[in-house]
C-alpha cells in the first residue's frame, strides 16, 4: 500500500520530534548525573554538618526546651541566620532502624501518618538514596498566614547500624508557587537513626532549621518551631507502632 505525501510528512515529522525528545531526555539525565558527581563535596559537607550539630552538647549554645525519659528538645540561636536550629532526640521502643527509616522515607506510608507534611510527593528521583521532594504545611489560619510549601533535596546514607538522612532546599523554578502561598527555605534538616542503649530501642536524632519566609517574625518562628518538632517526633513514634501492628496483621508495606 502506497502512502500519500501528507502521511509521509506526518510520520517523518513525528520521528524527528521523538528523536529530539529522546535526545533532550538523555542530555538532561547526563547533566543530572554530572551535577551529582560535581556536588559530592557539598553532599559530604551536609552530612558532616548534620553529625556535628547532633553531637554538640548544651555547653555549645543549645537551650533545653523539654526533657522526658523518651525525648529531649533543644533550641540554638546562630549568628548565621535569625532562624534558630531545633534539635530533638526521641527513643522509640519495639522497633528497628529500618522501620524508622521506612516511616520517614516512604512517601505512601508518610502520607498516612504525617499531619505536617501535606501532599508529600517525590518530584524527581535520582536514585534509591537521592531525590527531590515536595510537600506543604497547611496554615491553621489561612486568611491571616499563607500556606508554606517546601521543595527539598533529600539523601540518605547507611553506615553500619546508623542511617543518616539530610535535607536542604532545592532551586526548582519549574515548580511554580501556588497563588498566595510562600515557599519556605530549608537551611538544613535531617536525622541520624541509630540503635538505642537497650534491645529493641531506636534513638532518632532530629535537626531542623527552616526559614518560612513571608512576614512572620523570626522570634515567632523560634517560639513555635520547638512545639511543632515535639509534636512531630511523637507522631513518628506512633507511626513506627502502626507499622509493627500492620505487619502483625499481615499488611506488608513496600518501599
d(CA 90, CA 178): 35
pLDDT recorded at residue 251: 77
C-alpha cell at 223: 517560639
State the angle between helix axes of 40-55 and 5-38 in degrees (0 to 180), rounded to the nearest 10.
Answer: 40
Residue 232's pLDDT is 85
Per-residue model confidence as pLDDT tens digits over 57-89: 989 999 998 888 888 889 998 877 888 899 999
State the residue for C-alpha cell 553531637.
55
| Structure confidence by residue, pLDDT tens digits, 14-39 | 545 544 443 443 444 344 444 444 46
Q: Specify the pLDDT at position 60.
A: 93
| Confidence label for 254 from pLDDT (cuts 50, 70 and 90) | low
Render pLDDT for 182-202 as a digit per residue (tens, 0 to 9): 999 999 999 999 999 999 999
Count of C-beta atoms within a 10 Å radius of residue 105:
20
* Apex 172 CA angle, 41 and 84, nearest 5: 65
pLDDT tens digit sequence for 211-246: 988 877 777 777 777 777 778 888 998 999 999 888
Q: Hey, how many other C-beta atoms are within 10 angstroms of the C-beta on 213? A: 13
Grid cell in block for residue 64: 533545653
Amino acid at each position: 500500500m502506497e502512502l500519500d505525501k501528507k502521511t509521509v510528512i506526518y510520520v517523518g515529522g513525528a520521528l524527528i520530534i521523538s528523536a529530539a525528545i529522546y535526545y533532550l531526555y538523555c542530555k538532561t539525565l547526563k547533566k543530572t548525573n554530572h551535577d551529582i558527581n560535581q556536588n559530592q563535596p557539598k553532599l559530604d559537607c551536609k552530612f558532616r554538618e548534620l553529625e556535628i550539630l547532633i553531637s554538640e552538647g548544651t555547653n555549645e549554645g543549645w537551650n533545653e526546651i523539654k526533657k522526658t525519659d523518651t525525648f529531649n528538645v533543644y533550641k540554638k540561636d546562630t549568628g548565621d541566620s535569625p532562624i534558630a536550629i531545633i534539635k530533638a532526640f526521641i527513643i522509640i521502643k519495639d522497633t528497628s532502624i529500618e522501620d524508622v527509616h521506612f516511616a520517614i522515607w516512604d512517601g505512601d506510608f508518610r502520607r498516612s501518618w504525617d499531619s505536617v507534611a501535606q501532599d508529600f510527593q517525590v518530584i524527581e528521583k535520582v536514585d534509591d538514596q537521592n531525590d527531590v521532594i515536595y510537600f506543604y504545611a497547611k496554615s491553621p489560619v489561612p486568611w491571616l498566614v499563607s500556606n508554606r510549601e517546601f521543595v527539598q533535596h533529600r539523601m540518605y546514607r547507611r553506615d553500619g547500624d546508623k542511617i543518616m538522612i539530610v535535607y536542604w532546599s532545592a532551586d526548582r523554578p519549574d515548580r511554580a508557587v501556588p497563588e498566595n502561598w510562600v515557599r519556605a527555605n530549608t537551611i538544613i534538616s535531617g536525622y541520624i537513626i541509630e540503635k538505642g542503649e537497650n534491645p529493641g530501642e531506636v534513638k532518632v536524632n532530629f535537626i531542623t532549621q527552616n526559614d518560612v519566609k513571608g512576614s512572620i517574625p523570626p522570634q515567632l518562628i523560634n517560639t513555635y518551631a520547638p512545639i511543632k518538632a515535639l509534636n512531630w517526633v511523637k507522631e513518628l513514634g506512633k507511626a513506627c507502632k502502626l507499622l509493627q501492628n500492620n505487619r502483625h496483621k499481615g499488611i506488608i508495606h513496600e518501599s
